[in-house]
Amino acid sequence: AQSVTQPDIHITVSEGASLELRCNYSYGATPYLFWYVQSPGQGLQLLLKYFSGDTLVQGIKGFEAEFKRSQSSFNLRKPSVHWSDAAEYFCAVGARGFSGGYNKLIFGAGTRLAVHP
Amino acid sequence: DAGVTQSPTHLIKTRGQHVTLRCSPISGHKSVSWYQQVLGQGPQFIFQYYEKEERGRGNFPDRFSARQFPNYSSELNVNALLLGDSALYLCASSFSPNTEAFFGQGTRLTVV
């Protein structure tokens, strides 16, 4: 079955520290992979995506993620966290549908990030 | 540029009532998807429409239905509301199913 696991429900880091959020997926084919961020009561903002090609992808706000097929992982990283990064982060896999695209996103349960000053 | 817009932003309904949620995609986007996000969980896929045809359906009861209009806007309808339908309903649009999806701010539905 297709699924996404985010092992860490809650993470707290100090401002200026590095960050890594873990994401593991279960999917039978080459996946489309995404990271979204959600502030309280808000919609989801796309941070970055992986469709194919270079396995290290750069996103907005200084985030990057690395696709590792052998580990079925797509971990999100940031070298130096800012207080404004406090939010909930969701990893998602796009389940393939017709014509090579995807017809739905399967989300993990999310990781809530708190940032200490 | 306008992003994905959803209306209303909040609403309160009584059990057994019907509700219609609306979504306008980003200009030029032809695919719209709907997701339900219960508090403390990740979004769950409900429907995808592309070029006005249903392209995907999640594991939701028949009380949930949707449609896409010629201008690519979309409606999500939920009949016979249950307390468990209380959630944030998110709409996402993409140019096509091969491109990334952008989400609206959501509609917060409370069923009492």
> What pLDDT, on the 0 to 100 scale, is given for residue A46?
96
Could you identify the residue written with the tokens 């194919």? A52
Work out the pLDDT band at A15, boundaries 50, 70, 90.
very high
Question: By the CB < 8 Å criterion, does B111 face chain A?
Answer: no
Residue A91 CB partners (closer than 8 Å, separation 6+): A4, A6, A21, A23, A25, A33, A34, A35, A74, A76, A107, A108
What are the pLDDT digits (tens) for A23-82?
999 987 778 999 999 998 888 999 999 988 899 999 999 999 999 999 999 999 999 999
Q: Give the start-to-end residue ranges of the domains of chain A.
A: 3-116
CB A16 within 8 A of CB A115: no
CB B73 within 8 A of CB B22: yes
> What pLDDT, on the 0 to 100 scale, is given for residue A80?
98
Query: Number of residue pairs across A and B with CB atoms under 8 Å?
Result: 64
Which residue from B43, B97, B100 is facing A97, i.e. has the nearest CB?
Answer: B97
Q: Cβ–Cβ of A97/B55 closer than 8 Å?
A: yes
Which tokens sit at B61? Answer: 């009861």
> What pLDDT, on the 0 to 100 scale, is given for residue A14?
97
What are the pLDDT digits (tens) for B38-88?
998 999 999 999 999 998 899 999 999 999 999 999 999 999 999 999 999
B103, B107, B108, B110: which to substitute to probe chain A, counting the most A Cβ within 10 Å? B103
> What pLDDT, on the 0 to 100 scale, is given for residue A95?
81
> What pLDDT, on the 0 to 100 scale, is given for residue B28?
94
> What pLDDT, on the 0 to 100 scale, is given for residue A98?
57
CB B49 within 8 A of CB B67: yes
CB B32 within 8 A of CB B72: yes
What are the pLDDT digits (tens) for B14-42?
999 999 999 999 999 999 999 999 998 99
- 72-101 in chain A: CB under 8 A from chain B: 90, 92, 97-101
Question: How far apart are the C-alpha atoms of B45 and B35, rounded to whole Å?
Answer: 5
> What pLDDT, on the 0 to 100 scale, is given for residue A100?
59
> What pLDDT, on the 0 to 100 scale, is given for residue A40?
86
Which residue from B42, B96, B103 is facing A109, i.e. has the nearest CB?
Answer: B42
Nearest CA in chain A to B56: A103
What is the DSSP code string of B12-39? EE-TT--EEEEEEPPTT--EEEEEEE-T
Q: Cβ–Cβ of A104/B33 closer than 8 Å?
A: yes
**Start-end of H helices in B1-112:** none
Question: CATH second-level architecture of A3-116?
Answer: Sandwich (2.60)
Work out the pLDDT band at A97, boundaries 50, 70, 90.
low
Question: By the CB < 8 Å criterion, does A105 face chain B?
Answer: yes
